Amino acid sequence: MWFAKAFAAGFVATLVFHQGLFALFHAAGMVPVSAFNFAPVPPLGVPAVLSLAFFGGLWGWPVAWFIRNDAGARYWLKALVLGAIGPTLVAMLLVFPLKGLAVNPKIVVGGLLLNGVWGLGVAVLMRLMGARSNLEPV
């Protein structure tokens, strides 16, 4: 059950926290494309935002696992840092080159901010679902 909660937290955090901040960036003119991209992506033709949320769900597992026994500021700080660094590194070093996309400092900073907020969202949602190691076994 814990893994289902972690996946759900990552999935929903992508839609609410990550895409919410992305929408604010777009509204402020900081990014040229809008959030919640429903353009189909290969190979299955799934809307891009749902593909992103699926991978957010997968990333929810390690983030939730690493923060599961923490409390207080350590809980929130680890969620922020792990959320910011893990997905951003994979995106910048693996996904972007595979897709032929350029990486520049602005994109890296944006990725760290978006994914850091996503990590905090995972932490919030895990707490709201009561998924703490002292409440149920890992």
Q: Give the global pTM.
A: 0.90
In a domain, 9, yes or no: yes
Residue 35 lies in a domain: no
Report residue 105's pLDDT band, with 50, 70 and 90 as the boundaries: very high
Residues 6+ apart with CB under 8 A from 46: 40, 54
pLDDT tens per residue, range 23-81:
999 999 999 999 999 999 988 999 999 999 999 999 999 999 999 999 999 999 999 99
Q: Report if residue 68 sits inside a domain.
A: yes
What's the domain count of the chain? 1
Give the pLDDT confidence score for residue 43 in this predicted structure: 87
- Would you state the pLDDT for residue 30? 93
Residue 136 belongs to a domain: no
Domain that holds residue 114: 2-17+56-128
Query: At a CB cut-off of 8 Å and minimum separation 6, what does 110 contact?
Result: 25, 30, 31
Instruction: Determine, yes or no, domain membership for 79.
Output: yes
75 within a domain of the structure (yes/no): yes
Is there a domain that residue 120 lies in? Answer: yes
- Assess if residue 43 is contained within a domain: no
Question: Residue 79 and residue 125: Cα distance in Å, rounded?
Answer: 11
